[in-house]
A = this chain, B = another copy of it.
Amino acid sequence: MQKVKPALLRGFDQEYLPHEQLQFNHLVDVIRRNFELYGFLPIETPSAERREVLTSKGGVEKEIYALTRLAEADDDEAATKGALRFDLTVPLARYVAMRERELAFPFRRYQIQRVWRGETPQARKGRFREFYQCDIDIINREKLSYLAEAEIPSVVYSVFREMAIGEFRIRINNRKVLKGLLQEFRVPEDKSAEVLRTLDKVEKEEAARIVEELVRAGLPNAPATRLYQLIAAKRDTRETLAELGEMRNELCVQGVEELRKVVEAMGQLGVPQAAFAVDLSVVRGLDYYTGTIYETRLVAHPDIGSICSGGRYDDLASYFTETRLPGVGISIGLTRLFSKLSEAGLLRPLARTPAEAIVVTMDGRYLANYLEIATRLRAAGINTEVYLEQAKLKNQLAYADRKGFRVAVIAGENEFAEAKVQIKNLTTQEATVHPMGELVRAVQAALNDSTPKA
């Protein structure tokens, strides 16, 4: 028979081997557990939305995948009006606008799902066309306390601390401070988006290049240089706040006051000083943000860039509802993060199987006994696999080793005759013999004694 080549589509190719998938799922579990620790509620939204919903804000059409039917079909809205979501924020806005009366506000939601973007895939940068986002947002009606802006980075801290991927720093800034600075530097209103985009590149590009772009946007040479220096200078949080304290611009003063309060509350929420910094070079390109903005970096791997970003915005769903819905949120691009962590060797080895114990089946006369042993172990909550095929003990143990089981349960004619069972710790290769009645306890003891095999 003519075979079809089993292959993936470019950019739709982040597919893992089972032991990698276990590591990925472990990160998802850590994220989810911490989101729930802070009382965020789960939602999922459909993969495809109405095209007019996705494009309501404009400027994203060129990255969107639309659906169509492979064969002709009548009456399928999805194929004529549907497209895959490119982020989780637009679906959230649509969701809240649709269900405003059924939700309790402040609405705290988390969402961990795939999104699709027709960007050019670059594995080196961790950029793919299909990837996971893990988002939290706090949304309220009409007003939103600055405390929400402090709580969001405390969740981020909690997530990455438990992930144990090395030292990280949450860098925060405030959009009002940035806007105030632009006013101070007399950047015309219609140039401020352009200037912010330039400042967003301060960490990646050379000083001369940035200054040149600022000059091109209309700043005289001296202020352009001073603005660059102000943004790019490396200071600690105290120094930055002190320097900003000199500013007299009203927006700036307001933004600095917000930053001070957010920083104070972050401390009360348990985020240690070393884990965050006020940093003026955090700009976040999007117009959307109006208050605190965040980025997060691994201290030892600045090249990875931000692993978690977000900010405060004034109105989530203005395209869908008259209700003003201010909010604050962050997003973890998990597929990219996983790819980068894996490349940098920062993922802790985990067991290669969720099962801990394997029951080897040495002698076909005792199949019933092997199955019953597994049933007893599973009833005690021990993840257990029985080797179901006929194979030599040696081959069964090689399989156990390859899949990373921690304990093997071994019994043959001799053991069954004496109502005993052999328990082999596959980490230490030590085997002990126990009465069959003590099976569960013996396996549990061996598991406590052994470490997951990566």
Q: Within the assembled complex, what's the spacing in Å between the Cα atoms of A358 and B106? A: 13
Residue from A318, A367, A379 whose CB has the most chain B CB atoms within 10 Å: A367
Tell me, yes or no, whether A7 is within 8 Å of chain B by CB.
Answer: yes
Tell me, yes or no, whether A375 is within 8 Å of chain B by CB.
Answer: yes
CB of B1 within 8 A of CB of A318, answer yes
Q: Which of B9, B51, B98 contacts A82 (CB 8 A)?
A: B9
Residues of B within 8 A of A38 (CB): 355, 378, 383-385
Residues of B within 8 A of A319 (CB): 1, 3-4
**Chain B minimum-CB-distance residue to A14:** B46
Tell me, yes or no, whether A258 is within 8 Å of chain B by CB.
Answer: no
**Chain B minimum-CB-distance residue to A36:** B354
CB of A130 within 8 A of CB of B389, answer no
Q: Which of A136-144, A165-173, A196-204, A407-415 contacts B (4 or more CB under 8 A)?
A: A136-144
Q: Which of B49, B84, B384 contacts A37 (CB 8 A)?
A: B384
Q: Which of B19, B41, B50, B265 contacts A18 (CB 8 A)?
A: B41
Please tell me how many copies of the chain the complex holds.
Answer: 2
A interface residues with partner B (beta carbon < 8 Å): 1, 3-19, 21-22, 24-25, 36-53, 55-56, 61-62, 64-71, 73, 75-79, 81-84, 93-95, 97-99, 102-104, 106, 108-109, 114, 116, 118, 120, 129-130, 138, 140, 143-145, 147-148, 150-151, 158, 264-265, 268-270, 317-322, 353-355, 358, 367-368, 371-372, 374-375, 378-379, 381, 383-386, 388-390, 399, 402-403
Residues of B within 8 A of A389 (CB): 106, 140, 143-145
**23 cross-chain CB contacts under 8 A:** A4-B56, A6-B95, A7-B98, A9-B77, A11-B77, A15-B95, A18-B41, A19-B41, A39-B354, A40-B354, A41-B353, A51-B70, A61-B71, A62-B71, A65-B69, A65-B78, A67-B68, A145-B389, A151-B388, A265-B367, A268-B372, A269-B374, A270-B378
